[in-house]
Amino acid sequence: MPLYASKTFLLQILSLLCVIFLLPASSLSPIQKRSLSLSSQPSTLASSTIPPMDVKIDTAKSLFGSKFSGQTATIIAVAPGRVNLIGEHTDYTGGFVLPFAIDYSTVVIGTGSVEEKPDNQERTASIRFVSDKSPEEVEAFEISESSKPPTETAWTTYVVGTVFQYLPDLKSPQSHLDLTFTIAGDVPLGSGLSSSASLEVSVARFVEVVLGDAAFSSVDNDSIKSPAKWRALRCQKAENEWCHSPCGIMDQAVSSAAKAGSLLLIDCRSLTFNETKMNEQCDDTPVLVIANSNVQHDIAGGEYPVRVAQCKTATEALRQVNPNIESLRDATPDDVETAREYMDETSYKRAKHVTTENERTLQAKEELERGDWNRVGELMNESHASMRDDYEVSCEEVDVLVDIAQQFPGVYGSRLTGGGFGGCTVTLVAKDKARDLMDHMQQEYKARTGKHCPCFETKPSRGAHLLSIKDHKPFV
């Protein structure tokens, strides 16, 4: 989801024209330059080298020093973006997903405190922050337990909505949370790599450090003891309620809880996590390549909420044949065929995708661990066809990318990843063919669409974590 949705449509058009016609930076006005830096961020993926973490940290530190010179930053919190290998549009119906974290991430650097204000009638917070995407603007918000989400979502809403979720942890109605921080990130906006979840989770982890032992003190559900899971739930709630996006739990969960070297099979109903490793004992263990269509999407609006509603309609039809079905997670492909007479064609196709996708996801986990790359690739290809034909969330450019990859020697499978309507593809390819594949995809995509196709090779990375403010090394 694009974080800077509040930027004007005119600026977006100006930046798009700059990208299409490859205008040199020297020919752009200051306002065009600023727009280009915001809306065309996917171009940072032009090479297969991930920008070093120190670049983001140095950027955030420099911003903090220039904007908040009277304070000292004491906390560095990091949360990654993600790629979903398989299991698309199943999380908001309680299904199964198989994502992993990537090295592109959001860094939050700052300081904070909790103090008692005798005149307070309810828990409150003061939030001041600056982003590397709008370095001249210091954002400032005052919120309380009675604050309501804005009707219009700006990128700052993701930050404020996340902080709001932690107000119940404050000791008393007289408690006040004071936060000052800067944000720097390189997760491409609107690319389907979860820039919004990366932002939410990094802010959440930062707030937890400020709160210390009080973090999650208001939680009364003993069935979920993991801070990573509670963090994910709170960030999802922020996006659902404050940003008006009906997203599932997948993005926040993997950004919060991922382990380096592992994919994470997530049961989105029970919130159980199962680490899944690719069988690296095989000599031919493939790699994962991400390609960005440079078609941006926005899951808060448009077709995404429509799909959520269509799944609910399909579930109601399925209850005609099995009243025990609570969501599409409970149904099988056979159930869908049995209940087809109670569905319109659209509901049938949506239910068919979700139920078959859940089965594909569970199979993919087993085949990854077994090292049957051909079967994993087949499942990925089937998944893309289902998203294209039954769930109808692909687009022409993404289909072109997938077609280019699927035809390339050494590729096992390729599919759309993320919410769809643009964004990225994920491809499983033989290790010695990865570089050639990326070069080929960029050339062919440009020839067929006229668009640039940034690509990078990736591997499963670590979820949310803290770094030392002194040497930037991870805390254990």
Catalytically active residues, by annotation? 251
Longest dimension (CA), the chain: 69
Q: Which residues, in sequence order, are bridge partners of residue 265?
A: 274
DSSP assignment of 147-209? ----SS--HHHHHHHHHHTTGGGSSSTTEEEEEEEEEEE-SPTTSSS-HHHHHHHHHHHHHHH
| DSSP symbols for 268-335 | TTTTEEEEE---TTSTT--EEEEEE------TTSTHHHHHHHHHHHHHHHHTTT-TT--SGGG--HHH
Look at the block and give the residue holding tokens 């809306």: 39
Judge contact between 168 and 218, C-beta under 8 A.
yes
Whole-number Å distance between alpha carbons of 176 and 439: 53
Number of helices (H), then strands (E), in the chain: 13, 12
Contact between 415 and 389 under an 8 Å Cβ cutoff? The reply is no
Q: Which three-class secondary structure state does DSSP give residue 467?
A: strand
Integer Cα distance of 452 and 98 in angstroms: 28
Q: Which residue's structure tokens are 């911003």?
A: 63
- The DSSP letter of residue 4 is T
